Amino acid sequence: MAGSLGMATMQPFSSSMAGQRLVARNSNVSRPSNVRTNLIQCRTLEAGVGLFGTKAGMTTLYKDGLAMPATVIALEEGNIVTQVKTAETDGYNAVQVGYQEVKESKLTKPEAGHCKKAGVAPLRKLREFKLKDVSTFEPGQSLSVEEMFKEGDLIDVAGISIGKGFQGGVKRWGFARGLMTHGSKSKREHGSIGPGSTPGRVFPGVKMPGHMGAERVKIRKAVILMVDAEKRAIVVKGSLPGKPGNVLEITPSKIVGKFDK
């Protein structure tokens, strides 16, 4: 009876059943959706239009009896909108900002023509900021720091770090030194890089001596301690990349959370 009952409930396997199972199994598979597309677009968008500034140097500010290291950023002539891109004409919305006035002879003809078309003076630095809405910007518009940033704001600051030249593993990667006494002959040597009979080669990406610094670095969630509209300068907590005179890119921080002023 049990055997006959089991045979009665069983159904012959068919290709249509396999298709049904495949559809049921794939129904939970994640596919590209509008949510994912919007997330990718949000990651590429800036939190707001940014500014250029020149690193003036470092100083110390005192607040509630505490000494805070700070960097002064001076805003020279510039920070002018040179181009406004829209989704209708360019496929995306963006605002291009120029900085540092120079002689026209210092630019190539296409660069000089680009600035002339916008009706602005020749500018050395150009940077594009992708935004959701660009309706409030127009070519030739001057951007002022006091209207865009205030004390306590979080910003992301990007610049070129100080070049250190060719350095060993101890300085470049923070490796430990060897013995300094007892007849040691490997005080600052690199050490093993991994090859042997197996695998018989050095894997790519091993931390080795080489050129250090002179690369783009971004400091995130830096705090603005002071905005001086008269002197066209802002003071930011902590150190920033580069030497005095280096050009820095300042944008509103996209990662906003808890922080300690």
Q: Confidence band (pLDDT; 50, 70, 90) for 71? A: very high
pLDDT tens-place string over residues 8-62: 455 555 555 555 544 444 444 444 455 545 544 555 677 889 999 999 999 999 9
| Residue 159 lies in domain | 45-165+211-250
Cβ pair 243, 198 in contact under 8 A: no
139 in a domain, yes or no?
Answer: yes
pLDDT tens-place string over residues 238-259: 999 999 999 999 999 986 655 4
Cβ pair 195, 117 in contact under 8 A: no
180 in a domain, yes or no?
Answer: no
ω into residue 122 within 30 of 0, thus cis? no
Cβ pair 224, 235 in contact under 8 A: yes
pLDDT at 38: 52
Structural domain count of the chain:
1
203 in a domain, yes or no?
Answer: no
Cβ pair 131, 94 in contact under 8 A: yes
Q: How many whole angstroms separate alpha carbon 46 and alpha carbon 79?
A: 17
State the chain's mean pLDDT as an integer. Answer: 84
121 in a domain, yes or no?
Answer: yes
Cβ pair 157, 240 in contact under 8 A: yes
Q: How many whole angstroms separate alpha carbon 168 and alpha carbon 208?
A: 7
CATH code of residue 238: 2.40.30.10
Beta bridge partners of 81: 97
Q: How many whole angstroms separate alpha carbon 245 and alpha carbon 88?
A: 39
What average pLDDT does this structure show over 174-185? 92
Please return the burial class of 203, using the count of CB atoms within 10 Å of its CB with bins 0-12, 13-18 and 19+. Answer: exposed
37 in a domain, yes or no?
Answer: no
Q: How many whole angstroms separate alpha carbon 192 and alpha carbon 57?
A: 41
2 in a domain, yes or no?
Answer: no
pTM of the model: 0.75
pLDDT tens-place string over residues 96-147: 999 999 999 999 999 999 999 999 999 999 999 999 889 999 999 999 998 8
Cβ pair 106, 58 in contact under 8 A: no
229 in a domain, yes or no?
Answer: yes
237 in a domain, yes or no?
Answer: yes
Determine the length of the chain: 261
A 10 A CB-CB count for 49 gives: 23
Residue 149 has pLDDT above 70, yes or no: yes
